[in-house]
Amino acid sequence: MSKLLLKGGRLIDPERRKEEIGDLLIVDGKIEQVGGSISPSDASVIDISGLIVAPGFIDMHVHLRQPGQEHKETIATGTTAAMRGGFTTVLAMANTSPPIDSPRIMREVVEIIRRDALVNVLQMGTITVGMRGKRNVDFEAMIEAGAAGFSEDGKSVMNSRLMLEALRASSEMEFLISDHCEDGNLSKGGLVNEGEVARRLGVRGISHLAEEVILARDLMLAEETKGRLHVAHVSTKRSVEMIREAKARGINVTAEVTPHHLTLTQKAVLEMGADAKMNPPLRDRGDVEALIEGLRDGTIDAIATDHAPHTPQEKSLSLEEAPFGVIGLETCFPVLYTELVLKGKLDLMDLIAALTINPARILGLERKGRLKKGADGELVLLDLNREMVIDPENFASKGRNTPFAGMKVKGVPMMVIIGDEIHTLLFPLSVVSMANCPPSTAQPSLERLTFQRSTF
């Protein structure tokens, strides 16, 4: 039996919206006791006074690039980046090469995950075969092979009949569809948001309508079918309004927003070039404010990074030639804590809820995202007073394509606990099993812990 006691932390339980200073006990990888003063025998003890203890973060939208694009990211490097950011569970998109559109490919990827992943990875399948929008995959067979849901992320299913059938199957089999809302006919050839920046750069813009037209269609289809629709990377004010109205009508819809859409406007492209080129594009200040308000009032449920690594060579190309996408796993919490919480735009509890209990509920993860007896012992410890400057050269991800390079931030993930392993997030990433952590009632502070085994 393994026991780990965390002493004197600031415990944040987003499910009960409760915060207290106290202890937390993990026994055999499960939370056994939360709060108060705990003094079990034969426990490894870590003094975490001054640190936040929260459930491990859950990211509903990442691109791990494997199979087929391992030069950009792998399951091993992507999950190392996730851990560095405090994430203990991620949902991987299916637009790999080849796309994950068959039970055979799904089983192969699940095996790689079992072998290489440092955190929990849930794997999505595509909605249509080959992402070609001609025929839906065999949803039942894909689920049996390990699919956690379905998404055509990177583009929309433009055939309304196929999307109707997918949402109908979602209702019948109770699986989730993550919806990239983009009318390709309206966005074709666009590089940045349609507006001032596009005009200044002399490039074609992407209208807000490209997102909103498909969102309106899919909300109607979800209402008709009772399917489980999750709207990915919401970026416009009108999208927030439509989702708010849909929820009021009882449509089974949830939504996510990214750190970059919450903190940056289209003007970032003028300074950062391709490192601020993503799809959907950065929008106007009014859109950013609407996204924050949607997060505050519950219209938007979760924060997801849309971690999309590319090689430095690809992102060094011109704005026209460089691919869409930015990374976000290692910068998510510090950026949002600095830009939203410290500036009074969002409560710390709401930020943590959007990264933990809310995505856990959407994904049906009953033992994750919570601080309570019986929940999985998957935690992140945060130092809200620690400052750092974001340096892409220190990233665990193969990607360096961040719009936040050089930004001074506060609120740093310091440790992640997953089951019977304790991972320190100070460089280099290290790990020790609970069994190797000697019992002590006077355990040294977090930074002075000695770890016996290097992960990489």
Q: What share of the chain is helix, strand, coil (3-state, %, to 5)?
A: 35, 25, 40
Q: Residue 188 pLDDT > 60, yes or no?
A: yes
Question: How does pLDDT run across 138-173, given as a tens digit for each residue?
Answer: 999 999 999 999 999 999 999 999 999 999 999 999
User: What local confidence, expressed as pLDDT, does residue 434 receive?
Assistant: 47
CA-only gyration radius of the chain, Å: 21
User: What local confidence, expressed as pLDDT, does residue 41 receive?
Assistant: 83
Separation CA 43–CA 294 (nearest Å): 43
Minimal CA–CA distance to 251: which of 281, 280, 277, 215? 215
For residue 389, CA distances in Å to 108, 407, 435, 449 come to: 38, 6, 35, 24
Write the DSSP assignment of 67-107 as a string of letters: TT-TTT--HHHHHHHHHHTTEEEEEE-S--SS-S-SHHHHH
Rounded mean pLDDT, 175-198 = 98
Question: How does pLDDT run across 404-414, given as a tens digit for each residue?
Answer: 999 999 999 99
Separation CA 291–CA 336 (nearest Å): 13
- C-alpha torsion 180→310→397→358, nearest 10: -10
Q: How confident is the model at residue 420 (pLDDT cuts 50, 70, 90)?
A: confident
Whether 306 is catalytic: yes
User: What local confidence, expressed as pLDDT, does residue 425 receive?
Assistant: 81
Rounded mean pLDDT, 105-110 = 98
* Cis peptide bond N-terminal to 280, omega within 30: yes
Separation CA 94–CA 55 (nearest Å): 26
Separation CA 133–CA 155 (nearest Å): 10
Proportion of the chain above pLDDT 70, given as a percent: 93
Q: How confident is the model at residue 424 (pLDDT cuts 50, 70, 90)?
A: confident
Q: How confident is the model at residue 182 (pLDDT cuts 50, 70, 90)?
A: very high
Rounded mean pLDDT, 63-87 = 98
Average pLDDT, the chain: 93
User: What local confidence, expressed as pLDDT, does residue 1 receive?
Assistant: 82
User: What local confidence, expressed as pLDDT, does residue 316 receive?
Assistant: 96
A 10 A CB-CB count for 383 gives: 20
Separation CA 330–CA 103 (nearest Å): 31
Q: How confident is the model at residue 107 (pLDDT cuts 50, 70, 90)?
A: very high
Question: How does pLDDT run across 320-342, given as a tens digit for each residue?
Answer: 999 999 999 999 999 999 999 99
Minimal CA–CA distance to 66: which of 90, 100, 91, 102? 100
Rounded mean pLDDT, 352-364 = 98
Q: Which residue has the tokens 């509920």?
A: 361
The β-bridge relationship of strands 192-193 and 176-179 is unpaired
Question: How does pLDDT run across 204-244, given as a tens digit for each residue?
Answer: 999 999 999 999 999 999 999 999 999 999 999 999 999 99
Vertex 68: Cα angle to 128 and 162 (nearest 5):
5
Q: Residue 352 pLDDT > 60, yes or no?
A: yes
The tokens describing 136, both together, are: 């839906």
**Contact, 385 vs 373, CB < 8 A?**
no
Cβ burial, residue 296 (10 Å; 0-12/13-18/19+): middle
The β-bridge relationship of strands 52-55 and 3-13 is parallel
Separation CA 295–CA 293 (nearest Å): 5
Write the DSSP assignment of 354-420 as a string of letters: HHTHHHHHHHT-TTSS--STTSB-EEEEEEEEEEEE--GGG-SSS----TTTT-EEEEEEEEEEETT
The tokens describing 1, both together, are: 């039996």
User: What local confidence, expressed as pLDDT, does residue 329 receive?
Assistant: 98
Q: Residue 440 pLDDT > 80, yes or no?
A: no
Longest CA–CA span in the chain (Å) reads 69
Question: How does pLDDT run across 269-324, given as a tens digit for each residue?
Answer: 999 999 999 999 999 999 999 999 999 999 999 999 999 999 999 999 999 999 99
Separation CA 211–CA 215 (nearest Å): 6
**Contact, 3 vs 27, CB < 8 A?**
yes
User: What local confidence, expressed as pLDDT, does residue 426 receive?
Assistant: 62
Separation CA 108–CA 100 (nearest Å): 10
Rounded mean pLDDT, 240-267 = 98
**Contact, 239 vs 181, CB < 8 A?**
yes
287, 306, 350, 383: which one is catalytic?
306
